[in-house]
Amino acid sequence: MASNYRWVIVAAGGLLGCLAVGAMFSLPVFLQPIARDTGWSVTGVSTAMTIGFLAMAFASMAWGMLSDRWGPRPVVLTGSVLLVLALVLAARAQSLLEFQLVFGVLVGGAVAAIFAPMMACVTGWFETQRALAVSLVSAGMGMAPMTMSPFAAWLVTEHDWRSALLVIAVVVAAIMIPAALLVRPAPALVGSESAPAVNEGEMERGGMSLRDAVTSPQFLVLTLTNFFCCATHSGPIFHTVSYALTCGIPMIAAVSIYSVEGLAGLGGRVAFGFLGDRFGAKRILVLGLLVQAFGALAYVFVGGLGGFYAVAALFGFIYAGVMPLYAVLARENFPLHMMGTVIGGTATAGGLGMALGPVAGGWIYDSFASYSWLYIGSWAIGLGAVLIALTFKPAGRRAAVAVAA
């Protein structure tokens, strides 16, 4: 029963992630309609997204800790309800500041309640095929640009942005709340007879305290690597369409570059899941980070649409593929009962890295009238991520026994 239900957990996680991320990323679709209707500046409306990333970053570890204490279902359900409420309030916002705070803080914080708890939950359900399972949940989240974004675009062509946002809130409520009720804690955490056998390494890690965990070299290396990894790809993700426009690519074609990147990312998440299970998560992570760094640099040398498509396919495949591996490494090195906190901590670092790229890219372009230094800088940061990841040493038996004692 438990072995079959674990795939229900994967499906629920992918669906919840798709809706949550898609609701947040409806903002770029609504950007111009909101600005035209309200008179708010594009920069002002866009700031809500930056606030959202920061809210996700700072809320991730808190939600993760709560999921360790209460279990994943209450946290994910609370996040789903909060997301619905936030979307309704954002649709009724009467000032730019109100919109920025509601959409940024509440929507961003609600989305954070889905990611870390679900990733932690899934890792606990799988002793084999763990990397594949986590990657499939991540792939569900990656479906958002290809499902929710087109849906939002269709809504805003038929209705005003406030009505469109309310419709998205209804869809989120109708799907996410029932899906959240399907979430169950891993059998090993509830003492189920059908729980998978606990291996020796898990027993050794079981005596680790939370303080030991968050001050361990493994946790520090994972969080630093995730920060540098996300700082590497956040700038290119947010500014490549604008960069393509400066190269003379028409708007519709430039936007399609982002779609190519997203489609390639779906394949990358699944492929890296298989590779991580087969060759080890650390080895594949280091290799992926190295290719990601040079993928970012490759944008400097493209000018035509074909070149943009080729680099976007490679870059999207890699950066999306490496992200689920952090959760796999966390599960292999820390006790199951603190997975939410550990994965939430790495997600906090990743969120801060994501918040850096858009601002840095805009400053670079304003200062140099060129995006070249953005991609060169991303390459350098990416190499830093590789070097940090190489220092990761799995928690050994001797160290774990010492912590338990």
Mean pLDDT, range 117-126, rounded to an integer: 86
Task: Reply yes or no on whether the pLDDT at 200 is more than 70.
Answer: no
How would you write 82-134 as a 3-class SS string? HHHHHHHHHHCCCCHHHHHHHHHHHHHHHHHHHHHHHHHHHHHHCCCCHHHHH
Q: What are the backbone dihedrals phi and psi of residue 196, each rounded to the nearest 5 degrees, phi first?
A: -65, 150
Report how far residue 222's alpha carbon sits from residue 228's, in angstroms, rounded to the nearest whole number. 10
Domains and CATH numbers, the chain: 1-197 (1.20.1250.20), 199-405 (1.20.1250.20)
Task: Reply yes or no on whether the pLDDT at 12 is more than 90.
Answer: yes
Largest CA distance in the chain: 64
Cβ neighbors of 286 (< 8 A, separation 6 or more) are 386, 389, 390
Residue 254 · residue 141 · CB < 8 Å: no
Of 100-104, 168-172, 355-359, 369-373, the range with the lowest mean pLDDT is 355-359
Report how far residue 45's alpha carbon sits from residue 95's, in angstroms, rounded to the nearest whole number. 11
Mean pLDDT, range 24-44, rounded to an integer: 82
pLDDT digits (tens, 9 = 90+) for 142-163: 787 677 877 887 888 888 999 9
What pLDDT sits at residue 193? 39
What pLDDT sits at residue 109? 93
Report how far residue 335's alpha carbon sits from residue 208's, in angstroms, rounded to the nearest whole number. 7
Of 103-117, 256-270, 313-327, the range with the lowest mean pLDDT is 256-270
State the average pLDDT for the chain.
Answer: 85
Of 54-63, 99-108, 308-317, the range with the lowest mean pLDDT is 54-63
What pLDDT sits at residue 403? 37
